Structure 1
Amino acid sequence: MLTRLLSLSLFLLLASAATNETDQEALLQIKDLISEDPLGVLSSWNRSLHFCHWHGVRCSRRHQRVAVLDLSALKLEGSVSPHIGNLTFLRAIFLENNSFHGTIPEEISRLLHLRYLLLQDNAFQDLGVTLPNLRGFYGGGNKFSGPFPTLDKNYISGNIPQEFGNLYNLGALYLSENMLEGSIPQSIGKLSNLQGLRIYKCSISGQIPLSIGNMTRLSVLDLGGNMLQGSIPVTLSNISSLEELNLGDNLLSGTIPEQVFGLSSLIILYLHQNHLTGQLPHQVGSLKNIGKFTIAANKLTGEIPKSLGDCVVLELLYMQDNLFEGTIPSSFKQLKGIQDLFMSYNNLSGHIPSFLGELPFIKNLILSHNMFEGEVPTNGVFRNITAFSVVGNVKLCGGIQALELPTCSQEIPENKNKAVLIRRILIPLGIIIPVFLLLACLWAILSRIRGSTKEIPSELSLQIQHLKLSYAELFQATDGFCSTNLIGEGSFSSVYQGNLDSANKIVAIKVLNLQKPGARSSFLAECEALRNLRHRNLVKIITSCSSIDLKGSEFKALVFEYMPNGTLHNWLHPSSSEQQQNGDSLNLVQRLSIAIDVASALDYLQHQCETPIAHCDIKPSNILLDKELCAYIGDFGLATVCSTTTAQSNHLQTCSIGIKGTIGYVAPEYGMGGEATVQGDVYSYGILLLEMFTGKGPTNSMFTVNSSLHNYVQTTLTDQVLQIVDPQIRLQMEDENETKANCKYSVSTLENGLRSLFQVGLLCSAESPKERMDIRDVIVELHAVRGALLRA
């Protein structure tokens, strides 16, 4: 046995020596291709000294392998050896401010642990490598050509450098879902050979540069999901090859230039969720190849141009949440390929055209909340209650029985005697109404006995790919609501993971416990709240089910998209099994991004909805995380639509309800009988923010009657900020300090960033509602903190 142990130890020792030898040889090969070393810094690179002590080399503590290669600003000249790809533990390469030339070796693509690559101010000529895990890339001041490295969905930070304009031969530039800031440089217009530009869902602001019209070979331009302001540049009309244009979800204003609609090559045009005004130009009919067109959530006015019907290959048309008026053009009967037509929340009037029901491929027709009148058609799509919505049009009548609209009355000749008319109307009503009430009661009883499934009327459920699910299907999806599929429990419900065979997808099924007082009102409140809410950081509902279970009892459930990363609470306070399963905890940037996501959703509820909505239960267990750790607010069971109080003493958004929420997160004024307000949600958010960065919940045992999480942070904020931060964040910082790239957070930068975060949390959780921050200001502050940390 001893012999085996000695053999194993010798084997491990030799293996370690072999891998270390690989690193040493790779470094010597790198030295061989450096032709000029005027400062003599590479003289230490010899076999008489362990390579971990060579100038510019930093090794990992555990494995003694090269983790950082830092040769920045040493006046070195030469090329980069392909042997750099043998430094398999390498996490950061700093070669900036030298005279390196030639190509970046393809072998760098083998460095799966590489996170930071700084190459600026050299003479490199080619960058044709794939860097899937890169977090930081700086390459200005070179002469790069060829394809740009794949950088999507990383943590690239800082401004888009002006030097990108020097990459004349660049064919595609994809920087989506990063943490960029600042504006798009005018120099980007020099990329005349660029065919694809995606800077989607970053934090860039400013105006779209006019020079972007010089990129005449572009086929894809995706700038959606940012904070771009100003008008849509007319110069876009120069890009005659453009097929996809996404400017949606920004802050653009002004009118839509009619010249943009001259781009007949466009297949996709997204302009939704901006501040665009004016009329939709009639030139829109020139988009002969357009398949997807979204202008929803703007402030567009006037009538819908008849020429829009000339876009005969349209499949998706979103026009909701605008100020359109007039009737639906008869030319829409030409849209034979339309599948989704959303026109809700406008001022459209007149009769609903029956030809809409004859469109052969239409799946979702949303006409709700307009001023339509008259009879609802019953042909085609109008036969399927799950495929169309006309709610909120109070002058409609007729239609299929499921709409429960009044019967359309026929006009009565004026020359009829009024007394005769009264007798003819009132006498039959005296007989019909009691009979109708009796039949209604019988129908309700029979429906309960049969256990029929009835969908709760919900505009939201009609605006998505709606699934009509029965109790039996939900029972099967959860293996009989088995405890092994239970993923969460709340005050009025249990949440199960389910596998829907019919849709081939995993979902979260929230089953109401109707035996608990308040459960039914919670269910109705959540349905009402989710019916019209649409935001990328609000949980997405799939359908609802109201039925009878196997015991004959009433059954109600909501079905949501499944969030594979569970709740924020489970990440902040994991059980031992969860800690083992997840492994890593949330780092500083991830927590900050989650905080921004939640604040963005609250901003939508408080400032962007027609009437403000108070969620009333903001806490970590109601924050859900998807596979990318994007955050979604869930559980709207306590949500309430608010009204505006215009008293001069304050301008609070209030809603009359009893005390709601969870202990520790509930605003103090609620306990004194105060009305619930959206400022109450800000208080809960403040507590959430303090918890995210201290790791301590408001009901932690360390807090007694005379202390609280708010007071704990406030008393230690000035000079002990690093001591109150979550230990998991500190451990990650210490681990990451092994590389210069992550050591960039100086103590002062880190302290200032955390101090700002805690200050925001304290201001949000102030005792007086009038002293709390507006959630819009919170978002600005958090973006500033994230920008400062990433710039460091």
Structure 2
Amino acid sequence: MANLSNQLTKLFLGGNQLSGTIPEGFGNFVNLYLLGLELNSLSGVIPRDFGKLQNLQHLHFDNNQFSGQIASTVCNAITLYYLDLSFNHGSLPPEIGKLVHLVDFNVSHNKFVGAIPSSLADCSNLANLSMQANFFQGTIPPNLASLKSIQQIDLSSNNLTGSMPKELEKLQYLRNLNLSYNDIEGEIPNTGIFSNANQISLIGNNKFCGGILELEIFSRKLNWFRKFWSCLQRKARKHSNKFVAVKVLDLQKNGASKSFKAECKALRNIRHRNLVSIVSYCSSIDSKGDEFKALVYELMENGNLDLWLHPETTDKPTSSRSLNLSQKLNIAIDVASTLQYLHNHCVLRKLYQIKV
């Protein structure tokens, strides 16, 4: 391969069951701009000479067994704009801020500990930041608000504490903020992305107050309509009235609490246009000591798909529920697309609610 040192620009070695350590010498491929080593069993540390790859733009190291400061050796490859180090082990160095051209950065599902490096704010072109499923501690760096191009931030399933940085509401291009399953507390801002419940996930943080939707959730007189997962429409207030669907848990049923936790876990990472989005959840105890748990979904304005496909099963008038062949075909395509997503892209493949 030495003869290719000045000619090689792309190298794809992903999914080849490679094992052992990466050999020295990759730094000689001075014109390499794409390297794919994902989905192997490579281990050890990333060689230092990766920092010599001054033309490298795409680096895929995900789904291996690297350890040590897995990013420190690539922080000098300042031309990088796509870096995927997910599903490895190791630590994240503060030098990550050197990658000023980075657009997509994924270090999810590692065992990173310590604080989130504040130097990430120096990656001024960053659009997608995925740091979920680690052991990050401390507070969310307020200077992340300087990432003016950021569109997606996922810090879920860590050990983050402290209050929600109010500065994040200034990020005008931010479309998805996932802070679920941390220990963040305090008041939720109410402007910017925080004003849209469909773009933020805070499940599993139990110390928030105020915030996105001040739901008119009730804790009394529920026994009449409670069935294990009973679905009802309930009004929620933001700046204007908004209807949502609420699934209320009957805690008298066996395994109800376990089911509640399982559904929260399944829904936190699901993102598909045909799957009903979760807005929030409610877990509280009233003055009598009665526990109340519920999931809050976006409301499906068109009602139940089953009643559209089989209107004869209801006593309601069917004239407004007729579907032509083209509409039925589109529904079938939407359902097939959703099932394909759940089967191939979700760790948990339990089907919940499909919208078409």
Which TM-score applies when normalising by structure 1?
A: 0.33
Tell me the equivalent position of 1:463. Answer: 269
Deviation at 1:357, TM superposition (A): 2.6
Tell me the equivalent position of 2:19. Answer: 205
Q: Distance in 2 between matches of 1:201 and 1:473?
A: 44
Establish whether residue 286 from structure 1 lines up as the match of residue 116 from structure 2: no
Deviation at 1:220, TM superposition (A): 0.2
Q: 303, 309, 322: which one pairs with 1:480?
A: 309
For 2:19, give the aligned amino acid. S
Q: Distance in 2 between matches of 1:376 and 1:498?
A: 43
Tell me the equivalent position of 1:255. Answer: 69
Q: 218, 239, 245: which one pairs with 1:454?
A: 245
Q: Equivalent residues in 2 for 1:172-183 (5 A)?
A: none
Tell me the equivalent position of 1:584. Answer: none
Q: Equivalent residues in 2 for 1:48-127 (5 A)?
A: none
CA contact (8 A) 1:453 1:471 kept: no
For 1:358, give the aligned amino acid. K
1:578-599: CA deviation from partner (whole Å, max 9, x where unpaired): xxxxxxxxxxxxxxxxxxxxxx
Q: Equivalent residues in 2 for 1:359-438 (5 A)?
A: 359-401=171-213, 437=219
More strand by share: 2
Q: Distance in 2 between matches of 1:387 and 1:398?
A: 17
Show structure 1 runs of 5+ residues with no match: 1-164, 169-189, 406-435, 483-496, 511-532, 545-556, 561-792
Establish whether residue 275 from structure 1 lines up as the match of residue 104 from structure 2: no
CA contact (8 A) 1:387 1:462 kept: no
Q: Distance in 1 between matches of 2:16 and 2:202?
A: 36
Q: What SS does structure 1 have at the residue aligned with 2:8?
A: coil
Tell me the equivalent position of 2:42. Answer: 228
Q: What SS does structure 1 have at the residue aligned with 2:20?
A: coil
Deviation at 1:326, TM superposition (A): 1.2
Deviation at 1:343, TM superposition (A): 0.5
For 2:336, give the aligned amino acid. V
CA contact (8 A) 1:318 1:343 kept: yes
Q: Quickly say closer, same or farther: Cα 1:253–1:404, change in 2 above 3 A.
A: farther
Q: What SS does structure 1 have at the residue aligned with 2:75?
A: helix
CA contact (8 A) 1:258 1:283 kept: yes
CA contact (8 A) 2:338 2:354 kept: yes
Tell me the equivalent position of 1:130. Answer: none
Establish whether residue 347 from structure 1 lines up as the match of residue 152 from structure 2: no
Q: Distance in 1 between matches of 2:148 and 2:170?
A: 9
Q: Distance in 1 between matches of 2:72 and 2:135?
A: 19
More helix by share: 1
CA contact (8 A) 1:498 1:506 kept: no
Q: Distance in 2 between matches of 1:291 and 1:472?
A: 38
Q: 126, 145, 151: which one pairs with 1:333?
A: 145
1:696-751: CA deviation from partner (whole Å, max 9, x where unpaired): xxxxxxxxxxxxxxxxxxxxxxxxxxxxxxxxxxxxxxxxxxxxxxxxxxxxxxxx
Q: 329, 332, 336: which one pairs with 1:507?
A: 336
Q: Quickly say closer, same or farther: Cα 1:308–1:403, change in 2 above 3 A.
A: farther
Deviation at 1:441, TM superposition (A): 8.1
1:605-638: CA deviation from partner (whole Å, max 9, x where unpaired): xxxxxxxxxxxxxxxxxxxxxxxxxxxxxxxxxx
Tell me the equivalent position of 1:516. Answer: none
Q: Quickly say closer, same or farther: Cα 1:193–1:388, change in 2 above 3 A.
A: same
Deviation at 1:509, TM superposition (A): 6.8
Deviation at 1:398, TM superposition (A): 2.1
Q: Distance in 2 between matches of 1:367 and 1:306?
A: 17
Show structure 2 runs of 5+ residues with no match: 236-242, 248-262, 277-298, 312-327
For 1:465, give the aligned amino acid. R
CA contact (8 A) 1:309 1:334 kept: yes
CA contact (8 A) 2:180 2:268 kept: no
CA contact (8 A) 2:233 2:246 kept: no
Deviation at 1:246, TM superposition (A): 0.6
1:508-536: CA deviation from partner (whole Å, max 9, x where unpaired): 678xxxxxxxxxxxxxxxxxxxxxx9985
Q: Distance in 2 between matches of 1:221 and 1:327?
A: 34
CA contact (8 A) 2:88 2:110 kept: yes
Deviation at 1:289, TM superposition (A): 0.8
Q: Quickly say closer, same or farther: Cα 1:448–1:211, change in 2 above 3 A.
A: closer
Q: Equivalent residues in 2 for 1:729-748 (5 A)?
A: none
Deviation at 1:261, TM superposition (A): 1.1
Q: Distance in 1 between matches of 2:204 and 2:73?
A: 36
Tell me the equivalent position of 2:53. Answer: 239
CA contact (8 A) 2:42 2:66 kept: yes
Tell me the equivalent position of 1:145. Answer: none
CA contact (8 A) 1:385 1:402 kept: no
Q: What SS does structure 2 have at the residue aligned with 1:325?
A: strand
Q: What SS does structure 1 have at the residue aligned with 2:129?
A: strand
Q: Distance in 2 between matches of 1:537 and 1:443?
A: 32
CA contact (8 A) 2:300 2:355 kept: no
Q: Give the total of aligned pairs.
A: 290
Q: Quickly say closer, same or farther: Cα 1:250–1:535, change in 2 above 3 A.
A: farther
Q: Distance in 1 between matches of 2:136 and 2:234?
A: 46
Tell me the equivalent position of 2:133. Answer: 321
Q: Distance in 1 between matches of 2:349 and 2:245?
A: 21
Q: Give the fraction of aligned pairs with identical amino acids, expressed as a percent.
A: 32
Tell me the equivalent position of 1:672. Answer: none
Q: Quickly say closer, same or farther: Cα 1:377–1:324, change in 2 above 3 A.
A: same
Point out which structure has higher relative CO (alpha carbons under 8 A, 6+ apart).
Answer: 2
Deviation at 1:355, TM superposition (A): 2.1
Deviation at 1:380, TM superposition (A): 2.1
Q: Distance in 1 between matches of 2:73 and 2:216?
A: 46
CA contact (8 A) 2:272 2:338 kept: no
Q: Distance in 2 between matches of 1:271 and 1:377?
A: 32
1:151-196: CA deviation from partner (whole Å, max 9, x where unpaired): xxxxxxxxxxxxxx37x3xxxxxxxxxxxxxxxxxxxxx5441000
Q: Distance in 2 between matches of 1:302 and 1:446?
A: 41
Q: What SS does structure 2 have at the residue aligned with 1:371?
A: coil
Q: Quickly say closer, same or farther: Cα 1:302–1:453, change in 2 above 3 A.
A: closer
Q: Distance in 2 between matches of 1:227 and 1:446?
A: 46
Q: Distance in 1 between matches of 2:209 and 2:40?
A: 43
For 1:332, give the aligned amino acid. L
Deviation at 1:437, TM superposition (A): 4.5
Deviation at 1:338, TM superposition (A): 1.2
Deviation at 1:464, TM superposition (A): 4.2
Deviation at 1:339, TM superposition (A): 1.3
Q: Quickly say closer, same or farther: Cα 1:369–1:438, change in 2 above 3 A.
A: closer
For 1:463, give the aligned amino acid. N
